Each structure stands twice: as structure tokens, then as C-alpha cells.
Structure 1
Amino acid sequence: MQHITLIRPDDWHLHLRDGDALSTTVPHTARQFARAIVMPNLTPPVTTVEAALAYRQRILAAVPADLNFEPLTSLYLTPATTRDEVARAAECPHVHAFKLYPAGATTHSEAGVGDLKGIYPVLEAMEHLRVPLLVHGEVTDPGTDIFDRERLFIERELAPMAERFPGLRLVLEHVTTREGIDFVRSRPQLAGTLTAHHLLYNRNALLAGGVRPHYFCLPVLKRETHRQALLEAATSGNPQFFLGTDSAPHAQSRKETACGCAGCYTAHAAMELYAEAFDSVGRLHRLESFASLNGPRFYGLEPNRGTVTLTRQAWTAPETYPLGSESLVPLRAGESIAWKLA
């Protein structure tokens, strides 16, 4: 197959940041995706409908005039979130979910939740009002091996939560383990997003031959056996799994440092990278359902109108992009990518 045309896809897990960064991150996403769930972990975090609507307007102001793009906002779930805020979110057409960060799990997660049982009354309201909960699924206690954080979070926190709230529309974000795949498949009300970098790379990309900071993300890249499980799930046709890039821009100076930030920037070539992953197992014919149909079905939205076309044409990703006054190094910087968005 040399060309593939898809219903225009959506990104169901995206970091755009704010301010000057939007002039780079928004056009990269808008040229290929019609919609995206935008993460709320700004500084300060987006915790109210009012703040989400203001952030949405800043994103829309950065959309190029020749492109159509709809930011779907989410709210940051904190110990102070109220049932009333859940009700306001449920009534707002521009707010589509709450995001749960265990406190300290990843970038700008300091305002997250330490004791999950303490937010059970809010989860009860979300279950009743059919508001999705998007979960960064990792334990954060310092004694836990970083490669076990997702598995243990599922065992200790997520499985009991799903059992207690069987009607809660729950998404395990950026699944990285076989256990995560099995958990999503175990209950029909669950869904999971999968990133291009977790489908393409295992932890050797981060650590073999030296530490490569632009492959450092959280949850961290795992063993090859886990990557194979993710790839099988993504390309299986199972509607519980759909595209979420978790594209996360950081300035080069904050990645290439003694304590670098977690996050891979893939928005510049997201669909091209997903095409590589699906092509690697001969399942390009299943890319459309994963990228364009499964997510809208879960969120109760119609698939997009229009199409995008990918061509088997090698090109070299730029070494950097501007990020405000600094530089941003994308995944696969200076390297070849096998597919190109027409």
C-alpha cells in the first residue's frame, strides 16, 4: 500500500501548553486532527469551567486561518473539586472530561490527588452525570520501581474504583503495559488511549547506548513484550482503544539537563508515526477505526467530515522547532519518517 485515506482523525490526549508555545503546538495538531482533548495541567491548572473556556479561546486564537480545529477541554481533578463543578462541566458543551493525576506522577501534577478514596463523592457525581474520567495510571510512592508503577496502580487503585463505580466512563490514558491492556479489555465501560511512541519504541530507545532524553516520558517506555501487547491492541480493531498522542512539548533546555522533564513531542508527525506502527504489522487497514472512529464513539460524538491522506514517502524531521523564545526537539529529530501527510 502506497497511499491511505482516512476520515479525518482526532487526538484524545494532547498537551498544547499555553502562551507563546501555542503558536507552534496548535498548528502542528490542527493540520492533521479535527479535534483534540487538551490536557489541563497548566500552571496554574485548569480546574473550573470558566478557566477551561478562557483556555479554549487562547487555543482557538492560535489556529491558522486555513484550518478547522476544535479544542475539547478537560478539567484538572483536585481534592477541592466539587460535585457542583462536575454538574457545570456536564452542562458545558466545550468541557468533555476530568483528568486525574496522582499527586507527583508527572509534569505539573503537584495539584493532583493523593488519596483517591477522598474523591469518591465526586466520582459518584461523574458516574451519575456520565462525565468521563481520564486517568494517569501510576502509583507515586518512591519505593516503587518506575517500571511497575502502572501495574501496581491498576491493582491497588483502578480495579477497586472500576468495581465501585461500574457506570463510570473511565479512560486509562497512555497505556504502557500488558496488564493495562488486559484491564481495559476486562470491562466494557473502559477505554484506553495509546501513543505512537509507546507503539514504536521500548525502553532500549531511552537507555541503550546512552541516555536519550527526548525518549523520556511518563509512563516510561517499557519492555518489548509490553510494546508488542500495545501494538496488538491498537491494531486489533477493538473499539475500546483509540488514538491519544500524549504529545508533550518541553524546551530543549529543560529536556537536555541534569533532571530533564518527561514528555515526547510527536504532534509534528503524529499520524505519520502511527502509520509506521500499523504498517509494521501489516494492519494499515485498521488505522482508520483506531484514529477516526473509536474515540468519537466513546465520547458520544459524530465522526469528522473530510479526510486526510498519508503517502509512503520518506522525509526527515527537523532538528528543532521554535517554542516561544526557546527550541523544541521533536521525536525522531533529524531522522527519517517513512510516511508523509499529504
Structure 2
Amino acid sequence: MTEITIPRPDDWHLHLRDGAMLEGVLPYSARDFARAIIMPNLVPPVVTGADAAAYRDRILAALPKDLDFTPLMTLYLTEGTDPADVASAHASGLVTAVKLYPAGATTNSHSGVRDLGKVMPVLEKMAEIGMPLCIHGEVTDPAVDIFDREAVFIDTVLDPLRARVPELRITLEHVTTSQGVDYVMGADANLAATITTHHLMINRNAILVGGIKPHYYCLPVAKRESHRLALRKAATSGDKRFFLGTDSAPHVDPLKECACGCAGIFTAINTLSCLAHVFEEEGALDHLAGFTSRNGPAWYGLPVNEAMVTLVRRETPVHWPERIFTGDGPVTVFDPLLPIHWEVA
């Protein structure tokens, strides 16, 4: 197959940042994606409905006039979040979901949740109104190995939470382990998962072999090869509980290439090309549209986009810039480490 046409995709996990960085990276997502779930971990975070409205206005103001893109806003869950504000923001159509960051789990997560018991009134209200909870599924206990934090989170936090509030709709974001895949597949209701582009393409060797490569460092960190293969199997299976969330997360190069570099990989520019490569390798191009364009809208109760996107397989590999330049500084583009022949027409 040398050409495939799919409904215009959505990105169900995206970091756009703010200010000059927002202006620099937004066009790359808006070019290929119709909608995106926007992460709220700004400084300060997007906590209230008023915060979300103001952030949405800044995104729309930065959007190039010739691009059609809808930001789907989220609220950052804190131990002081007001259930009534959450419900009001959701009822108005302003906010699509709430994001739970365990405090200290990733970039700008210090305002996150330390005691799940303190946010139960919010979660119970969300279950009542059918509002999804997006979860960064890792524990932050320093005694737990970083490569085990997702599996431990599932056993000690997620499974008890689902037993306590079974009607809560949960999106387990950026799944990185075979345990995560198995857990989602074993759920009979109210659980779905996003998978990133980069976790389908790299394992932990990309970060560590031949020297430390900071532009492959992300959180959750890439795991061993057996987990990558489990993710590829899930993503390409046609299972409607799995869909794309790129977790494209730009940082300027000086903040990546330093003694304590930031976690995040910028993939918005070449995600669709990389995914077509993965699905072709797995003999599953017929499931690409489900993963990128159909399963996510079904989970979030939205229509599939009417516009279509065509990807073409070129004879020669496609090339992207090594980095893009924003008003905040240069941002390195994800390098998939192999030739990619698919390109958005």
C-alpha cells in the first residue's frame, strides 16, 4: 500500500505550553490534528474553570488563521479543587476532562495529588456527571524503581480507585508497560488508555546506549523492548480502548541538555508519519484510522472528524528539521532512528 486516507486525527494528550513556546509549537499540531486534549501543567497550573477559559483564549489567539483546530481543555486536579467548579466547567462545554498528576511525577506536577482521599469529593462528582479523569499513572515513592512505577501504580492506586468509584471514567495516559496493557484489556468498563508515538518506536536503549541521549528522555520513561512490543500489539490490534495521545512535550534544548534535563519529547511534527510506519510494520494499516481518528472520539463522546487526511508512502525517506525555533529557543524534533517513508500529503 502506498497511500492511505483516514479521518483527520485527534491528539488525546498534548502539551502546548504558553507564551512564545505555545506560538512556536501550536502550528505543528494544528496542521495535522483537528482537536487535542490540552495538558494543564502550566506554571501556575490550570486549576479552575476561569483558568481554563483564559488558557483556551491564549491558544486560540496563537492559532494561525488558516488552520482549524479545537483545544479541549482540562483542569489540573489539586487537593483544593472545588467539585462545583469542575461540574460547572464541564456542563458549559469549556472543560472536557480533569488531569490527575501524582505530586512530583513529571514536569510541573508539584501541585498534584499527594493524598487521594482529599480529592474523593471531586472524583465522585465526576463519576456522577460522566466526566473523564485523565491519569498520569506512576507512583512517586522513591523506594520504587523508576521502571516499575507504572505497574506499582496500577496495583496500589488505580485498581483500588476503580473499586471505590466504579462509575468513574478513567483514561490511563501514556501507557508504557505490558502490565498496563493487560490491565486495560482486562477491564470490562470505564477504562481506556492512550499510547504515545515515541513509546511505540523506542525502548530504554535509545536513552542510554552509547551515551546519555537527553532528547529521548521522557516520563514515564521508555521501558525494555518487551514492553514496547506489547504497546505495538495493543495499538495496532483494533481494540477500541486504545488510542493516540502523543504526549508531545516541547522543551528548549538548554533545558534538555544539562545536568538535570527536563522530561519530554517533541513529536507533533512527525507523529502521523511515524505511526503509519509502525502500523505498516505490524501489517495493520487498516487499524490506523481506529487508533488515530475513531477510538478517541468514541471514548470522549465526540463525533469523528468529517475532514480526511491522506498519507503517501514515498520512495525516498521523509526528512524533518533537526529542530524548530521558537521565541523561547530551539526545540529538538523527535528522531525515530530509522528511515520513515510515509508523509502527510
Which residue of 1 is the match for residue 228 of structure 2?
227
Contact in 2 for aligned 1:318/1:333 (Cα 8 Å): no
**Structure 1 contact 319–333 (Cα < 8 Å) conserved:** no
Paired residue for 1:310?
Answer: 311
CA distance in 2, matches of 1:277, 1:168: 32
Q: Does the CA-based 8 Å contact 1:317-1:336 persist in structure 2?
A: no
CA distance in 1, matches of 2:119, 2:74: 17
Q: Which residue of 1 aligns with 2:201?
A: 200
SS in 2 for 1:337: coil
1:91 maps to what in 2? Answer: 91
- Give a deviation string over 1:86-113, Cα, whole Å, max 9, x none: 2112212121000000000000000000
Flag the 1:330–1:295 CA change in 2: closer, same or farther, 3 A.
same
Separation in 2, partners of 1:25, 1:173: 21
8 Å Cα contact 1:13/1:245 also seen in 2: yes
**C-alpha separation in 1, matches of 2:28 and 2:166:** 37
SS at match of 2:65: coil
User: Residue 335 and residue 22 in structure 1: after superposition, are their counterparts in 2 closer, same or farther (change >3 A)?
Assistant: farther
d(CA) in 2 for partners of 1:82 and 1:257?
Answer: 38
Correspondence for 2:326 = 323
Contact 1:16–1:22 (CA under 8 A) maintained in structure 2: yes
User: Who is 1:280 aligned against?
Assistant: 281
* Deviation larger for 49-58 or 11-20: 49-58
Q: Structure 2 counterpart of 1:51, which letter?
A: D
**Amino acid in structure 2 at the alignment position of 1:136:** H
CA apart distance, 1:238: 0.6
Q: Which amino acid aligns with 1:326?
A: G
Pair 1:134-2:131 in alignment: no
Percent identity, aligned pairs only, is: 54
Deviates more, 1:27-36 or 1:323-332: 323-332
1:167 aligns with 2:186: no
Aligned to 2:144: 144
2:40 maps to which residue?
40
Q: Which moved more, 1:114-123 or 1:162-171?
A: 114-123
1:102-141 → structure 2 map (5 Å cutoff):
102-141=102-141
Name the structure 2 match of 1:295: 296
Q: Which moved more, 1:225-234 or 1:55-64?
A: 55-64
Structure 1 Cα separation of the partners of residues 341 and 94 of structure 2 = 36
- Point out the more displaced range, 61-70 or 14-23: 61-70
Q: Does 1:256 align with 2:250?
A: no
Task: Give unpaired runs (5+ residues) of structure 1.
Answer: none
**Do 1:317 and 1:334's aligned partners in 2 also have CA atoms closer than 8 Å?**
no
Indicate if the aligned counterparts of 2:48 and 2:86 stay in contact, CA closer than 8 A.
Answer: no
Q: Give distance in 2, aligned partners of 1:186 and 1:75.
A: 28
After superposition, the C-alpha distances for 1:267-322 in whole angstroms (9 at most, x for unaligned) are 01111111111111111110001110000001110000110111112222211101
Q: Is the 1:320–1:333 Cα contact (8 Å) retained in structure 2?
A: no
Structure 2: any 5+ residue segments left out of the alignment?
none
Q: Distance in 2 between matches of 1:208 and 1:55?
A: 39
**Partners of 1:98 and 1:133 within 8 A in 2:** yes
Which residue is equivalent to 2:62?
A: 62
After superposing the two structures, state which structure 1 stretch, 242-251 or 200-209, moved more: 200-209
| Residue 22, structure 1, aligned to residue 25, structure 2 | no
Do the aligned residues in 1 keep the contact of 2:274 with 2:336 (CA within 8 Å)? no
Q: 1:340 aligns with which of 333, 340, 343?
A: 343
Matches of 2:224 and 2:7 in 1, distance apart? 33
> Aligned residues, how many?
342
Rounded to whole Å, the distance in 1 between the matches of 2:281 and 2:49 is 42
Query: 1:112, 1:293 → 2: CA distance?
Result: 31
- Structure 1 residue 336: deviation in Å? 4.3
Higher alpha-carbon deviation: 189-198 or 329-338:
329-338
TM-score normalised over the length of structure 1:
0.98
Rounded to whole Å, the distance in 2 between the matches of 1:121 and 1:334 is 46
Superposition deviation, residue 335 in structure 1: 7.1
Give the deviation of 1:166 after TM superposition: 1.0
Structure 1 residue 244: Cα displacement: 0.3
* Structure 1 residue identity aligned to 2:199: H
**For residues 324 and 333 of structure 1, do their structure 2 counterparts lie closer, same or farther at Cα, with a shift above 3 Å needed?**
farther
CA distance in 2, matches of 1:335, 1:233: 22
SS at match of 2:269: helix
Tell me the SS of whatever aligns to 1:267: coil
- Give CA-to-partner distance per residue, 1:161-185, whole Å, 9 cap, x none: 0111111010000000011111112
- Contact 2:101–2:113 (8 Å) recurs in 1: yes
Q: Is 118-127 or 173-182 further displaced after alignment?
A: 118-127
For the residues of structure 1 that align with 2:283 and 2:86, how far apart are their CA atoms? 43
Report the counterpart of residue 153 of structure 2 in structure 1.
153
Tell me the distance in 2 between the aligned counterparts of 1:27 and 1:263.
18
Q: Distance between the aligned counterparts of 2:320 and 2:145, measured in 1?
A: 34
Cα distance in 1 for residues equivalent to 2:291 and 2:323: 29
Relative to 1, partners in 2 of residues 1:333 and 1:244: Cα closer, same or farther, differing over 3 Å? closer
Q: Residues 209-266 of structure 1: CA distance to partner in whole angstroms, max 9, x if unpaired?
A: 1111000000000011111111111011110000100000000000000100000100
User: Which portions of structure 1, spanning 4 or more consecutive aligned residues, are displaced by more than 4 angstroms?
Assistant: 333-336
The aligned amino acid for 2:227 is: H
The equivalent residue for 2:217 is: 216
Q: Aligned pair 1:191/2:192, yes or no? A: yes
